Amino acid sequence: MKLNDYADWQEKMWRGDGTAWERKDRDVTVSALGLAGEAGEVVEHFKKYFRDGKRFHRKHELALELGDVAFYYVRLCRAAGYEPEEILDLNVAKLEEKFPGRK
């Protein structure tokens, strides 16, 4: 699934009626906190990996958490007035300028 298509699907899931997301302060805050919380879940997988010194074997669980990160990421992209893929393009341009010669 393409990221912008995922964002369209996600809006329908959030509201349930298929209407565009109303960018209310509460919704943006919930999305930002959700992103931070889900990123923390991703970090937790690696903490346990390093703490326990075992081979990383929870790839599927990690993938599910990364999906949750994507859920909130696309919400915040749209709240900022961008499509998720536009944000990635902006990031590529920024990093190529910051690290020339690494293309």
In angstroms, what CA-CA distances link 73 with 5, 44, 45, 96, 99?
Answer: 13, 19, 19, 22, 24
Residue range 83-94, pLDDT digits in tens: 999 999 999 999
27 within domain boundaries:
yes
Is residue 40 situated within a structural domain? yes
Closest CA to 10 of 60, 84, 88: 84
Domain presence at residue 103: no
Residue 18 lies in a domain: yes
**Considering the chain, what is the average pLDDT of its residues?**
87
Does a structural domain hold residue 73?
A: yes
Task: Judge whether 43 lies within some domain.
Answer: yes
Domain extent at residue 69: 3-98
Count structural domains, the chain.
Answer: 1
Q: Please state, as a whole number, how many other Cβ atoms lie within 10 Å of the Cβ of residue 13.
A: 9
pLDDT tens readout for residues 63-77: 999 999 999 999 999
